[in-house]
Amino acid sequence: MSYRIGYLIGSLASDSINRVLSQALVKLAPDDLDMVEIPIRDLPMYNRDDEYSPTPAVTAFKDALASADGLLFISPEYNRSIPGALKNAIDVGSRPWGQNSFARKPVGIIGASAGSIGTAVMQSSMRGVLSFLDAPQLNAPEAYIHFNPEIYGADGTVSDESTAQFLAHYMSEYSAFVARVLSSALPGHMGDADPEVMH
């Protein structure tokens, strides 16, 4: 059994350390995870007025979320919270009402920072948002990465053995979590459209 995992990078910067981290995670992921980036760069700012006339970028984004079995958020921490571009993507993907693209998707959250707390506060904020959106979360192991650029290669290799082992372990645990969630998933969740109640 293999699973298609969409990963979202919270930084828009081309040289983001979290993009570097994502390359390492893709390389270290177990064979049963098919890792595919879901870009967020071209999404417009969320506006309720546009919910029922989405741009092509929004349609493509929601289609990518729908085609993923699970989602992995790889993100920095901005001002002790979620980067604006990533929060906007979450808002776009969760609407309109009844079309929440995150519901029942098994998610993982990981992030790298030059600072010693390694995105811990951002991840705490994310957990509250994703809980509201009915997205089951891998709660352990937690992964707050203090980024050392010297150990990450351009091709995703990680030269420090302990770091590589930790990241590989995280991806292995995420794979097992995805399998557990999807094997027990049942239809029906908060936000599903009720055919008898149209807004």
Q: Is the distance from CB of 155 to CB of 124 less than 8 angstroms?
A: no
Looking at residue 194, its pLDDT comes to 45
Mean pLDDT of 12-23: 96
- State the Cα–Cα distance between residues 106 and 162, nearest whole angstrom: 26
pLDDT band for position 185 (cuts 50, 70, 90): low
Residue 191 has pLDDT above 80, yes or no: no
Mean pLDDT of 36-44: 98
Mean pLDDT (the chain, rounded): 92
- State the Cα–Cα distance between residues 4 and 120, nearest whole angstrom: 26
- State the Cα–Cα distance between residues 19 and 4, nearest whole angstrom: 19
Q: Kindly report, residue by residue over 131-175, the tens digit of the pLDDT.
A: 999 999 999 999 999 999 999 998 999 999 999 999 999 999 999
Looking at residue 116, its pLDDT comes to 77
Looking at residue 117, its pLDDT comes to 82
pTM for the full predicted model:
0.90
- The beta strand positions in 3-115, using DSSP E, are 3-9, 33-37, 70-74, 107-113
Residue 64 has pLDDT above 90, yes or no: yes
Residue 58 has pLDDT above 70, yes or no: yes
Rounded to a whole number, what is the distance in angstroms from the first to the last CA of the chain? 39
Based on C-alpha coordinates, what's the Rg of the chain? 17
Share of the chain above pLDDT 90, in %: 87
Mean pLDDT of 61-77: 97
Looking at residue 192, its pLDDT comes to 42
Residue predicted with more confidence, 183 or 36: 36
Residue 198 has pLDDT above 80, yes or no: no
